[in-house]
């Protein structure tokens, strides 16, 4: 709960201080869409899969290359949120409400995808590693792309700037797919070397992130 509320306070500060007001309704919409499902999923995992919840809270990355990815991601979020607040404050670029609504729907769809990945893969971790006894998952969303969790987060994170009403932030967040592509390449080397059957799985499921694209 400490991480939950500290994260909430940080995002409130990053959005509303640059906005110069608490009347930034896009900010409150985003906070509701983000933190209400997080709380719900956290409660479900705590009651049914406490081990998986512990793994999801473990963000201590051991791979040096992945630590760099995490640092860049953090910088992207901070600058994107600040830009969104400033965009609202000064009215640089206004996007229509229908775009905000569509982005909100996409955000919720990505959450459903993310929850399904959590259900399918109990080995899922926030850090890149292979656990003892880990097996290759090749059913459900894992039968479509090899990294459905990252597919969900790409949809999620690219919808965030539009929920916040900030095309400027969207340009900043476009770095995320590039970051994820780099993370996936490093992760697959580790999985292929350490996870039995992963090389065969790669031949079976050709696409990493987006079906028929990559």
Burial 156-191, CB ≥16 within 10 A → b, else e: bbbbbbbbbbbbbbbebbebbbebbeebbebbbeeb
pLDDT at 31: 96
Percentage helix, strand, coil for the chain under 3-state DSSP, each rounded to 5: 70, 0, 30
pLDDT at residue number 40: 74
Q: Is the pTM of this model over 0.75?
A: yes
pLDDT in tens, 32-73: 999 988 887 777 666 666 665 565 555 555 556 667 778 888
Q: What is the pLDDT of residue 141?
A: 93
**92-101, 160-169, 183-192: least confident range:** 183-192
Q: Residue 190's pLDDT is what?
A: 86
Domains assigned to the chain: 2-204 (1.20.120.1630)
Buried b (16+ CB within 10 A) or exposed e, 11-31: beebbbebbeeeebebbebbb
Q: Which of the four pLDDT bands, split at 50, 70 and 90, describes residue 193? A: confident
* 6-31: pLDDT as tens digits: 999 999 999 999 999 999 999 999 99
Average pLDDT rounded to a whole number, residues 88-114:
95
32-34-40 Cα angle (round to 5): 90
Tell which phi-psi region holds residue 24, choosing left (phi > 0), alpha (psi between -120 and 50) or beta. beta
What pLDDT is stored for residue 133 in this prediction?
A: 66
């Amino acid at each position: 709960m400490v991480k939950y509320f500290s994260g909430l306070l940080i995002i409130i500060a990053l959005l509303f201080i640059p906005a110069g007001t608490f009347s930034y309704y896009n900010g409150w919409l985003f906070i509701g869409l983000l933190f209400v499902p997080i709380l719900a999923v956290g409660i479900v995992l705590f009651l049914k899969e406490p081990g998986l919840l512990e793994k999801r809270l473990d963000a201590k990355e051991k791979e040096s290359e992945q630590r760099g990815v995490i640092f860049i991601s953090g910088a992207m979020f901070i600058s994107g949120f600040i830009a969104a607040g400033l965009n609202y404050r000064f009215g640089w670029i206004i996007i229509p409400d229908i775009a905000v609504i569509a982005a909100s729907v996409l955000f919720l769809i990505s959450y459903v995808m993310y929850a399904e990945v959590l259900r399918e893969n109990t080995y899922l971790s926030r850090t890149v590693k292979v656990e003892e006894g880990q097996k290759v998952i090749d059913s459900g969303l894992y039968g479509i792309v090899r990294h459905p969790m990252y597919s969900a987060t790409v949809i999620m994170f690219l919808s965030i700037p539009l929920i916040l009403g900030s095309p400027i932030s969207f340009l900043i967040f476009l770095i995320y797919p590039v970051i994820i592509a780099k993370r996936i390449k490093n992760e697959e080397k580790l999985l292929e070397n350490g996870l039995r059957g992963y090389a065969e799985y790669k031949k079976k499921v050709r696409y990493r992130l987006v079906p028929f694209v990559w």
